[in-house]
Structure 1
Amino acid sequence: MSIHKAERRSVILAAVIELLATKGIGGVTHRAADHAAGLPQGSSTYYFPKKSDLLRATAVHLAAELAKDCDELQIAFSDIVAKQGLDRAIDYVALQLVESLAQAKHLQLARIELMLAAARSDDLTDLATLLSVAGRRPIEFFVSLISNGQSQTAIDTCVGLIDGIALMYVTGQGAKPSAAQVATVLKSIVKTNDNTTLSRTD
C-alpha cells in the first residue's frame, strides 16, 4: 500500500470517528464519511465497500488511538517514582488520566457507538471485546504501574470504577472527574496491597 493510500485511509477513519462521536452510528454512511474527510464521493467505498467494512476498520483504528502514548507515560512515571516517590507518581497518573479523558472524549463516544453497533450486528460482534479492552487499556496500564503485585481482582475493580466514571462523564451523565478523585481510587490499590502484605507477615 502506498503512503498516499495509507494516509487517505487514515483520514477516512478519523472522519468516521468524528461522525460517530457527533452524529452516532446512524450518521455514518459512505457519503457522509467522504464529505467529512474532504474527499471525492466514492473514496470510502473504494477502500471499504460495505458499511460493516468501514465500521470494522474504524474500530481497529480507534483501538490504536485509545492505546497510544502508554510507553512514553511509563518512562515519565518511573522517573517521578525514582525522584519524588510513589505518592507523587500516583498524583501524576491521576492527572494524566483526567487530561487524556478530556482530550479523548470524542474517542470514548465513538467507542460507545461502535460497541452498541457490535452488540446488534452478527458481523461486528467481535468488535465489542476489542473496543472494551482498548478503552480500558490506558486505565489498566496506569493501575498496573502502581499495583505492585496486587491481585487481578483488585486491579479489575479499580479499572472498572474509573472506566465507569469516565463513561458517565463523556455521555453527560456525570461531572468531569478531578485528578484528586482518581488519585484517591488509585491510592486505594496501594493501601489494599500494603494491608494484604502486612496480614501475610503477621
Structure 2
Amino acid sequence: MVPYNDRVPPANEQRRAQLADAGIELLVESGVHGVTHRAVDRRAGLPAGTASNYFRSREALLVATARRVVERHQADMAEAARTAPAPVGGDGVRRTIDLIAGSLMLAAGPHRARYLAIFELRLESLRRPALAAAIDELMAEMAAFTGGHHAELGLGIPPAAIPPMLVMYGGALFALVTGPAEAVTSQAVQPLAVAIVQGGLAAARFTPA
C-alpha cells in the first residue's frame, strides 16, 4: 500500500479574494449584519462552508473584507503610476492635486461600493476592538504605501504631510460616497483635492506654540 502523504494545499488566494469581494457587496447592500459566512458563500456562488474554512470567525471575515478594499486601492494606485504620462515640469504640488482629484473621482465613482464598505466597517469597529485594531493597522500600512507612492513619482511631498492628507482624503471621500452619485464631478472634486494637499502641507509646517 502506498502511504498517504499529500500535504494540505496552501489557501487559494483567488478564492479568498472572491469571498472578500462578496463581503464588500453584502456590506453595501445590507450593512455589517448582512455579512455572514453563509451569505458570503451564497453571494460568491461557492459551496456552503467555504467562507468558514478560510475565515474561522465572523470578525476574521470582516477584517479580510477590509484588507481586500485596501489591496484593491493599492492596486489602483500602482496601475495609475504605471500608466501615468511622464511628468512635465517640476510642480509636485500641482501633480499631487491632480493625482488626488483623479483618485477621488475613481473612488467615489466606479469604485463607490468598496469605500462605502470600508466606512461601514469603520463604524462597526467602534464596537469591535479587534476589528478596530486591524483597521488601524491597515491605515498605517496605507500611509506608508502612499508615502512610498508619492516618493516614486517624485512629488516632493514631505512625509509629515501624508497622515493629515489621508485624514482629509477620508473625510472628503465619505462626503462624496454618502451623497448623490451625480454630485461627483470634476468641478466638485478639484477644490477638495486642493484643500487636501494645501492642508497637509500646512500641517507639516505647523509648530505648536
- Do both share a fold (TM > 0.5)? yes
State the aligned residue count.
192
Alignment partners' CA distance in 2, 1:37 and 1:18:
10
Structure 1 residue identity aligned to 2:31: G
Distance 1:151 1:11 in 2: 34
Change in Cα spacing, 1:136 to 1:19, as seen in structure 2 (3 Å) is farther
CA–CA distance in structure 1, aligned partners of residues 150 and 189 of structure 2 = 14
1:22 alignment partner, one of 24, 29, 34? 29
Is 1:126 the counterpart of 2:129? The answer is: no
Mapping of residues 101-116 of structure 1, within 5 Å: 101=107, 102-116=109-123
Distance of 2:154 and 2:192 partners within structure 1: 13
Does 2:198 correspond to 1:188? Answer: yes
Report if aligned partners of 1:91, 1:179 keep a CA contact under 8 Å in 2: no
Query: 2:156 pairs with 145, 148, 160, which one?
Result: 148
Residue 41 of structure 1 aligns with which residue? 48
Q: In structure 1, the residue corresponding to 2:12 is in which secondary structure? A: helix
Question: 1:162 and 2:161 equivalent?
Answer: no
Per the alignment, do residues 164 and 137 of structure 1 end up closer, same or farther by CA in structure 2, a change over 3 Å counting?
farther
Partner of 2:78: 71
Task: Quote the residue 1:59 is aligned against.
Answer: 66
Matched, 1:11 2:21: no
- 5+ residue gaps in structure 2? 1-7
Confirm or deny: 8 A CA contact 2:92 2:157 kept in the other structure: no
Q: CA deviation at 1:190?
A: 9.9
Q: Using a 3 Å threshold, how does the CA distance of structure 1 residues 17 and 134 change in structure 2: closer, same or farther?
A: farther
- Unaligned 5+ segments in structure 1 are 197-202
Q: Which has the higher helix share?
A: 1
Kindly indicate whether the alpha-carbon contact (under 8 Å) linking 1:136 and 1:163 is maintained by their aligned counterparts in 2. Answer: no
**Contact kept? 2:41, 2:50, Cα under 8 Å:** yes
Sequence identity percentage: 25
Distance in 1 of aligned mates of 2:200 and 2:142: 23
2:3 alignment partner in structure 1:
none
Segment of structure 1 superposing worse, 22-31 or 108-117 = 108-117
RMSD between aligned residues: 3.7
